[in-house]
């Protein structure tokens, strides 16, 4: 592969990562009433399956979550720890991408349940275990009911050269 081809491929990945970040943040903002607060249901978390298909989704999800948390999250704890939880979960999903998809996205449910549940507990005074369970349940619904079908659709529709 020539230097020019490598540069083009790198630029494409950068743009795809930026698009993922933008879609994540816009979905959170557009669905503000359910994306933020003591009980939240982030439809944008359906995108957390994308590291299975696209490595650039890892930084894209982190930036998107960071932007979303700046827009309306639960303060500095959410901006820092919520965004880092998304980064860790996305990186683990990418690392586990060769497993069945349901297993590869499990870190998204577990890490966000624990970390975001703790953030909501501290920020809003919500009961810790209830917050963790609520976030994990919301994550599971979004990831497994919306995210996995999205991943299968993209896998069928995107050209193989765009995937990994």
Q: What is the C-alpha to C-alpha distance for residues 75 and 120, in angstroms, rounded to an integer?
A: 10
| Mean confidence (pLDDT) of the chain | 93
Q: What is the C-alpha to C-alpha distance for residues 63 and 14, in angstroms, rounded to an integer?
A: 12
* Listed range (12-16, 38-42, 50-54) with the worst mean pLDDT: 38-42
- In the chain, the number of structural domains is 1
Mean pLDDT of 25-51: 92
Supply the pLDDT for residue 37: 83
Supply the pLDDT for residue 162: 64
Q: What is the C-alpha to C-alpha distance for residues 153 and 127, in angstroms, rounded to an integer?
A: 38
CB atoms within 10 A of CB 148: 17
Cβ-contact 29, 42 below 8 angstroms: no
3-state secondary structure of 5: helix
Is residue 147 over pLDDT 90?
Answer: yes
Q: Quickly state the pLDDT bin for 48 (edges 50, 70, 90).
A: very high
pTM beyond 0.85: the answer is yes
Is residue 163 over pLDDT 80?
Answer: no
Calculate what percentage of the chain has a pLDDT beyond 90: 78
Task: State the residue range of the domain holding 129.
Answer: 3-162
Cβ-contact 51, 58 below 8 angstroms: yes
pLDDT in tens, 98-132: 999 999 999 999 999 999 999 999 999 999 999 99
- Domain harbouring 27, CATH code: 1.10.1760
């Amino acid at each position: 592969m020539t230097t020019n081809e490598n540069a083009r491929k790198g630029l494409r990945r950068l743009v795809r990562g930026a698009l993922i970040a933008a879609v994540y943040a816009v979905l959170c903002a557009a669905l503000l009433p359910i994306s933020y607060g003591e009980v939240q249901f982030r439809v944008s978390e359906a995108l957390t399956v994308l590291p299975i298909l696209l490595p650039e989704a890892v930084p894209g999800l982190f930036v998107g979550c960071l932007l979303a948390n700046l827009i309306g999250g639960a303060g500095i704890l959410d901006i820092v720890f919520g965004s880092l939880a998304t980064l860790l979960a996305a990186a683990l999903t990418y690392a586990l991408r060769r497993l069945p998809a349901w297993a590869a996205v499990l870190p998204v449910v577990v890490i966000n349940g624990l970390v975001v549940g703790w953030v909501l507990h501290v920020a809003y005074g919500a009961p810790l275990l209830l917050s963790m369970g609520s976030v994990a349940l919301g994550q599971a619904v979004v990831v497994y009911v919306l995210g996995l079908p999205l991943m299968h659709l993209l896998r069928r529709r995107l050209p193989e050269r765009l995937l990994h």
